[in-house]
């Protein structure tokens, strides 16, 4: 087949999204073609999901004519993984594979003459056509890198060991233990390793480094910041004389309760570092210099200790040191900051009404203009020479590469890394609905229908409870919580943008703090009650599923749903909020969302919404999933819940992933996750 599925054609027609006639088709590193059985089935399966090729890093050439992007592939039988680099004209055309033995993190030399990339732990340079690959000398053991705009310097990050281990303290090299005197000894999925991510700067001639120095020497702080260590938190000034970076200059207990990251500027000529956001005690991240170097923009949150506060666009003028809240009045988050060449506008992305769209803001008038449209998530974005390139995805399409006409907003998809799949399987349609909540608010939700949906039939339905609890429920594509996978298994998915979700203004987002078992849970009940009245949904075959805060939501619903649901699945959910407070790490989160620690007087009302308090009312089959290396919501929470279900005679199953974190990432683990997930639901809903 050489055409899109009927549903993708439907999307193209109703949204005005145009696809290049020459979308890229390249040969996979592994055998990812669908076999006869998969083609005959024509719908998503766990095995097909791991045949998706994953578009990653995007790098637009200085002249805006060529896009580099990475593609990652997995081989399910061996769990082997490989990432390579491709190039495609931004105007559309044939893709060229530039690396065949691995390549990540592509970056153009400032003059466009060469491409830098990483492979095998080394930094390499090659010609734009992929020829002439040579390793850069004097650079090993690094994580992120960035060539300066003049091309004469380079920065990179590297972990620097600064703390003494117990083995060193006691001169006993075979001991396997820790001595802990302060907090933040582990984070998300890793234990502190006695080292810190530091930024190094060096002279660069295109082939080798010299004069390397640590601009954070002896500091027990990190940049980029934990736990994501995002290289986008560091940037060069246009003249290559300054480096702006994000850093959290606190440690231990203070680190555990604070969100106070700052933007620091290091002067490469004087060696002086200046903190330009010292007055703000919330998050400050992702600095980006203006093209003429006269200004710098960044994302900023105002409220200390609130990780989901409004992400504001701040701009500072170097001429007088003044800082302005450029996006003041815009009640949506600002992400992915990109300046226009003339310094007059900034393009950014924002979660917006159940999607992620691209916007621009004029520095003079401060007017915000929506650039993109449609049922998509856009981003990350890159802007060069008035060429805007972006990732694009939806509930029916994994990430692809697209260009956007800045004037008209027209979108052109230029890649098709998964045509081998879309040509052979059908996707279910998604529908946006608004309903009235019990308290009279407008609730937006996405409904995803099975492929070949027949409204004359009755289907089981799943209430999808999102994690977060803040953040967007938009046009996401997941390789585990995949809406199309659920739909392909014959379920109608109901995904409400309940209170707490981003993209509907600050009041909607902020309401959930301190009210975990309140209005957002009622939003869920309002959504499923509304959909259960549809003639094509069987109200006697409803399930509820979710992970993280969504897993908590499932635990809470299990104790108060009044027999609406016939099956539950909770992944890495909070069960006993008191014990969770004592075992998690980012304490700023419960301090804000629960109101403080459980021993405070008066006791914060957030602890009244702990699911373990209602476990005596559990009466519905539940599957519980967790990972051994989840330190955000430690696996003991899931063990407590499973023990409670078993002791109360509730049909229950525990999936424990020894290599799992807050997520399941190993391919074969993920396939087992899917098989058990639908096996459990089918047993009680079909």
- Output the DSSP codes for 67-127: EEEEEEEEETTTTEEEEEEEEEETT----EE--SS--EEEEE-TTSS-EEEEETTEEEEE-
> Looking at the structure, do residues 470 and 603 belong to the same domain, yes or no?
yes
pLDDT class of 573 with cuts at 50, 70, 90: very high
pLDDT digits (tens, 9 = 90+) for 329-345: 999 999 999 999 999 99
Q: Residue 56's pLDDT is what?
A: 95
Residues 491 and 411 in one domain: no
Catalytic residue among 144, 198, 561, 662: 662
> pLDDT grade, residue 22 (50/70/90)?
very low
**pLDDT one-digit tens code per residue, 526-559:** 999 999 999 999 999 999 999 999 999 999 999 9
Average pLDDT over residues 69-94: 97
SS3 205: coil
| Residue 8 pLDDT > 90 | no
93 domain residue, yes or no: yes
Residue after which a domain boundary falls, among 388, 422, 456: 422
> What's the Cα-to-Cα distance from 402 to each of 3, 88, 179, rounded to whole Å?
18, 11, 51
**Integer Cα distance of 53 and 535 in angstroms:** 38
Band of pLDDT at residue 41, cut at 50, 70 and 90: very high
pLDDT of 619 higher than 50: yes
Q: Say if residue 191 is in the same domain as residue 227.
A: yes
Task: Considering the candidates 119, 198, 630, 638, report the single residue annotated as catalytic.
Answer: 630
Residue with tokens 């089918």: 682
Mark which of 422, 439, 464 sits at the end of a domain. Answer: 422
> How far, in Å, CA of 441 to CA of 430, rounded?
22
Average pLDDT over residues 22-35: 69
pLDDT average, residue stretch 18-31: 52
Same domain, 449 and 310: no
**Residue 1: inside a domain:** no
As a whole number, mean pLDDT of residues 113-140 equals: 97
Residues 455 and 337 in one domain: no
Q: Say whether both 414 and 438 belong to one domain.
A: no
Residue 164, number of CB atoms within 10 A of its CB: 10
Q: What's the confidence (pLDDT) of residue 27? A: 56
Query: CA dist 183 to 136, 229, 241, 248, Å?
Result: 39, 19, 37, 15
pLDDT category at 574 given cuts 50, 70, 90 is very high
> Catalytic annotation on 662?
yes
Residue 459 shares a structural domain with residue 602: yes
Residue 582: pLDDT over 80: yes
Q: Note whether 81 and 172 are same-domain residues.
A: yes
The count of domains in the chain is: 2
User: What is the Cα–Cα distance from 257 to 597, expressed in whole angstroms?
Assistant: 11
Residue 548 annotated to the active site:
yes
Task: Express as a percent the part of the chain with pLDDT over 70.
Answer: 96
Per-residue pLDDT of 393-417, as tens digits, reads 999 999 999 999 999 999 999 999 9
pLDDT tens per residue across span 459-492 = 999 999 999 999 999 999 999 999 999 999 999 9
Decide if 197 is inside a domain.
yes
User: Does residue 151 lie within any of the structural domains?
Assistant: yes
Strand partners, 309: none
pLDDT at 14 over 80: no
Q: Are residues 195 and 77 in the same domain?
A: yes
Question: Would the pLDDT of 306 be above 80?
Answer: yes
Handedness of CA 452, 456, 459, 465 (dihedral sign): positive
Mean pLDDT (whole number) for 39-61: 96
Residue 12 has pLDDT above 80, yes or no: no
Q: Are 391 and 472 part of one and the same domain? A: no
pLDDT-based confidence at residue 17 (cuts at 50, 70, 90): very low
Q: Which residues pair with 159 in a beta bridge?
A: 197
Q: What's the CATH code of the domain at 648? A: 3.40.50.1820
Average pLDDT over every residue of 156-172: 98
The domain of 477 spans 430-685
Residues 94-107: what's their mean pLDDT? 97
CATH number of residue 134's parent domain: 2.120.10.30
Say if 85 falls within a structural domain.
yes
Domain endpoint, select from 369, 395, 422: 422
Asked if pLDDT for residue 156 goes beyond 80, the answer is yes
Is 630 one of the catalytic residues? yes
Q: Which residue has the higher pLDDT, 6 or 631?
A: 631
- Model-level pTM? 0.94
Catalytic residue among 502, 548, 610, 652: 548
Residue 29's pLDDT band, with cuts at 50, 70 and 90, is: confident
- Residue 62 maps to a domain: yes
């Amino acid at each position: 087949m050489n055409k899109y599925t009927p549903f993708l054609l439907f999307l193209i027609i109703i949204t005005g999204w145009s696809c290049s006639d020459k979308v890229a088709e390249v040969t996979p590193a592994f055998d990812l073609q669908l076999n006869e059985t998969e083609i005959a089935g024509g719908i998503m399966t766990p095995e097909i999901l791991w045949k998706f090729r994953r578009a990653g890093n995007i790098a637009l050439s200085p002249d805006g004519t060529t896009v580099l992007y990475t593609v990652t592939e997995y081989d399910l039988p061996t769990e082997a993984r490989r990432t390579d680099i491709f190039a495609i004209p931004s105007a559309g055309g044939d893709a060229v594979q530039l690396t065949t033995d691995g390549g990540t993190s592509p970056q153009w030399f400032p003059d466009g003459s060469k491409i830098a990339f990483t492979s095998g732990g080394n930094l390499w340079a090659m010609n734009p056509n992929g020829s002439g690959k040579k390793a850069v000398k004097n650079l090993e053991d690094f994580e992120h890198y960035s060539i300066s705009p003049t091309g004469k310097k380079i920065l990179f990050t590297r972990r620097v060991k600064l703390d003494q281990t117990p083995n060193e303290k006691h001169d006993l090299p075979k001991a396997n233990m820790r001595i802990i005197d302060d907090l933040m000894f582990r984070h998300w999925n890793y234990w502190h390793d006695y080292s810190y991510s530091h930024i190094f700067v060096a002279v660069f001639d295109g082939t080798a480094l010299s004069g390397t120095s640590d601009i954070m020497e002896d500091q027990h702080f990190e940049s980029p910041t934990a736990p994501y260590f995002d290289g986008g938190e560091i940037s060069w000034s246009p003249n290559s004389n300054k480096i702006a970076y994000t850093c959290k200059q606190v440690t231990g207990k203070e680190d555990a309760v604070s969100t106070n990251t700052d933007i620091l500027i290091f002067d490469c000529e004087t060696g002086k570092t200046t903190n330009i956001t010292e007055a703000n005690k919330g998050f400050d991240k992702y600095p980006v210099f203006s093209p003429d170097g006269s200004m710098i923009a960044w994302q900023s949150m105002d409220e200390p200790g609130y990780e989901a506060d409004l992400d504001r666009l701040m701009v500072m003028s170097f001429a007088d040191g003044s800082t302005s809240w450029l996006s003041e009045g815009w009640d949506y988050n600002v992400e992915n900051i990109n300046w226009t060449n003339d310094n007059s506008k900034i393009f950014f992305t924002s979660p917006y009404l159940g999607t992620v769209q691209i916007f621009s803001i004029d520095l003079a008038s401060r007017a915000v203009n929506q650039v993109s449209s449609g049922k998509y998530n856009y981003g990350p974005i890159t802007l060069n020479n008035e060429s805007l390139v972006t990732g694009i995805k939806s509930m029916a399409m994994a990430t692809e590469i697209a260009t956007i006409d800045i004037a008209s907003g027209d979108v052109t998809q230029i890649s098709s890394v998964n045509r081998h799949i879309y040509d052979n399987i059908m996707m279910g349609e998604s529908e946006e609905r608004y309903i009235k909540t019990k308290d009279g608010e407008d609730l937006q939700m996405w409904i995803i229908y099975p492929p070949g949906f027949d409204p004359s039939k009755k289907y089981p339905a799943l209430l999808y409870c999102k994690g977060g609890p803040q953040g967007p429920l938009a046009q996401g594509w997941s390789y585990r919580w995949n809406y199309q996978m659920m739909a392909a298994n014959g379920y109608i998915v109901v995904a409400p943008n309940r209170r707490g979700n981003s993209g509907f203004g600050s009041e909607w987002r902020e309401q959930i703090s301190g009210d975990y078992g309140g209005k957002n849970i009622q939003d869920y009940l309002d959504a499923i009650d509304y959909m259960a009245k549809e003639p094509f949904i069987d109200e006697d075959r409803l399930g509820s599923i979710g992970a993280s805060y969504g897993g908590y939501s499932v635990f809470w619903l299990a104790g108060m749903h009044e027999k609406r649901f016939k099956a539950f699945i909770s992944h890495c959910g909070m069960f006993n909020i008191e014990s969770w407070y004592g075992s998690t790490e980012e304490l700023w989160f419960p301090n804000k969302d629960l109101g403080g620690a459980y021993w405070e007087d008066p006791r914060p009302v957030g602890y009244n919404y702990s699911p373990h308090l209602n476990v005596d009312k559990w009466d519905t089959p539940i599957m519980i999933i967790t990972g051994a290396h989840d330190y955000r919501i430690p696996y003991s929470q899931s063990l407590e819940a499973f023990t409670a279900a078993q002791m109360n005679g509730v049909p229950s199953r525990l999936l424990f992933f020894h290599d799992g974190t807050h997520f399941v990432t190993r391919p074969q683990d993920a396939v087992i996750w899917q098989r058990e997930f639908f096996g459990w639901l089918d047993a009680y809903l079909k």
